[in-house]
Amino acid sequence: MPSVTVRAPAKVNVRLAVGPLRPDGYHDLVNVFLAVALQDRVTATPAGALRVTCAGPGAGQVPLDAGNLAARAAAALAARLGRAPDVHLHIDKDIPVAGGMAGGSADAAAALLACDALWGAGTPRETLHELAAGLGSDVPFALAGGAALGRGRGELLTPLPVEGTFHWVFALAEGGLSTPAVYRECDRLRAEDPAGADVPPPQGDPALEAALAAGDPHALAARLVNDLQPAALSLRPALADTLRAGADAGALAGLVSGSGPTCAFLAADADGAAALAKSLNDSGTCRQARATTAPAPGATTIDFHA
Ligand SMILES: C[C@](O)(CO)[C@H](O)COP(=O)(O)OP(=O)(O)OC[C@H]1O[C@@H](n2ccc(N)nc2=O)[C@H](O)[C@@H]1O
Ligand SMILES: Nc1ncnc2c1ncn2[C@@H]1O[C@H](COP(=O)(O)OP(=O)(O)OP(=O)(O)O)[C@@H](O)[C@H]1O
């Protein structure tokens, strides 16, 4: 039976500057994405009807119905091609579910590529990007990988140069956080704060981009920003303990990853990351700490049987 397997990366937002709420319910962002080497794999095989299965840590929390982002991706591509979405998508999940690391987006990006190859459609890259943006604000970046500046709601991407390898540790939390709920909490906290009510448009940070381009973890550590962090901490106060444990264990810097609850810590090198992961695992302030590297490539076909 023909099959195509595509892997796609998780992300960390090294700068997430959030503007005011837009009339369409989204926020304008300056979103500097960095793809990390935690990856999901999606295998597409022909089937009588669209079907999703999932294995791996957290698989039990992944919906297997038409709401699964990978299923929505297959349906969107099939509709564009004027064909039936008659495919079985199997997700090998390694990215924490609802962790602020865009796992569902990775699966959607992987499903787009896998179905396109399985169906021999040769869909142009721009069309895949457009379909990706329709599925979610983080999906275009999961296709692209590397590092990129995301404007608009995060879907308007400009690739950014990165030198060398950055070493990260991700402290995974028990349970997830809902992305819309975290954005809502951000708006609520701002409305409550007299100084925060008049939210300026989100700004870029040339020093952060220079740190990425130079491959300098110390300079990058000094520029990490996540405007959603106060909201994630407000909804999950225990994350402050995780951030403190990472700082005490010698992280160059730490922050909540995207909408959380995963916390991300930057280390100077691979040995530093391994030691930090061990300390965080021993600290009892997270479910699991995992060392990994960045940047990672975007969605990539790793196996194809015609
Ligand atoms: C927090 C981030 O992961 C950072 O990269 C993203 O901004 C979220 O991206 P995502 O999960 O792909 O989000 P989407 O599926 O596009 O949107 C889910 C919900 O998040 C909120 N949302 C998302 C993106 C954005 N720029 N502004 C928002 O307010 C909206 O309430 C939206 O209804
Ligand atoms: N393929 C999928 N993998 C994981 N969750 C999925 C998937 N499809 C739909 N979902 C639903 O989406 C919700 C968010 O999952 P996801 O793992 O993408 O969160 P996230 O990493 O916090 O997202 P982001 O960082 O893009 O905001 C889950 O709680 C789940 O109900």
Residue-wise pLDDT for 131-182, tens only, equals 999 999 999 999 999 999 999 999 999 999 999 999 999 999 999 999 999 9
The predicted structure's pLDDT at residue 195: 76
The predicted structure's pLDDT at residue 193: 87
The pair of structure tokens assigned to 132 is 């990706």
Q: What is the mean pLDDT of residues 91-115?
A: 97
Least distant ligand from the CA of 24: 1
CA-nearest of 263, 254, 17 to 149 is 17
| Residues ≥6 apart with Cβ < 8 Å to 252 | 217, 218, 220, 221, 265, 266, 267, 268
To the question of whether residue 195 is assigned a binding role by annotation, the answer is: no
Ligand 1 contact, 262 CB (< 6 A): no
Q: Which class would CATH give 166-294?
A: alpha beta
The predicted structure's pLDDT at residue 144: 98
Ligand 1 contact, 137 CB (< 6 A): yes
CA-nearest of 101, 106, 231 to 168 is 101
Report residue 74: phi and psi, to 5°.
-60, -40
Residue-wise pLDDT for 188-209, tens only, equals 999 998 876 689 999 999 999 9
Ligand 2 contact, 259 CB (< 6 A): yes
The predicted structure's pLDDT at residue 196: 66
**In whole angstroms, how far apart are CA 297 and each of 35, 38, 162?**
7, 11, 12
CB 200 within 8 A of CB 28: no
Ligand 2 contact, 107 CB (< 6 A): yes
Distance (Å, whole) CA 160 – CA 212: 8
| Residues ≥6 apart with Cβ < 8 Å to 271 | none
To the question of whether residue 150 is assigned a binding role by annotation, the answer is: no
Question: Which residue has 């995780």 as its token pair?
Answer: 242
CB 268 within 8 A of CB 176: no
Distance (Å, whole) CA 23 – CA 27: 9
> For domain 3-160, which architecture applies?
2-Layer Sandwich (3.30)
Q: What is the mean pLDDT of residues 241-256?
A: 98
- Same topology, domains 3-160 and 166-294? Answer is no
The predicted structure's pLDDT at residue 198: 87
CA-nearest of 303, 256, 261, 253 to 118 is 303
**In whole angstroms, how far apart are CA 167 and each of 40, 189, 253, 277?**
19, 32, 12, 11
The residue whose C-alpha atom lies closest to atom 29 belonging to ligand 1 is: 26
Percent pLDDT > 70 in the chain is 99
To the question of whether residue 103 is assigned a binding role by annotation, the answer is: yes
Mean pLDDT of the chain: 97
The predicted structure's pLDDT at residue 194: 80
To the question of whether residue 97 is assigned a binding role by annotation, the answer is: yes
Q: What spacing in Å lies between the alpha carbon of 104 and ligand 2's midpoint? A: 4
Residue to mutate (ligand 1; options 33, 135, 138, 179; most atoms within 8 A of CB): 179
Distance (Å, whole) CA 124 – CA 85: 19
Q: Hey, where are the domains in the chain?
A: 3-160, 166-294
305: three-class secondary structure by DSSP: strand
Ligand 2 contact, 150 CB (< 6 A): no
Q: What spacing in Å lies between the alpha carbon of 207 and ligand 2's midpoint? A: 31
Least distant ligand from the CA of 53: 2
Name the pTM for this structure.
0.97
Query: Which amino acids are annotated catalytic?
Result: 11, 138
Q: What spacing in Å lies between the alpha carbon of 274 and ligand 1's midpoint? A: 31
The predicted structure's pLDDT at residue 306: 86
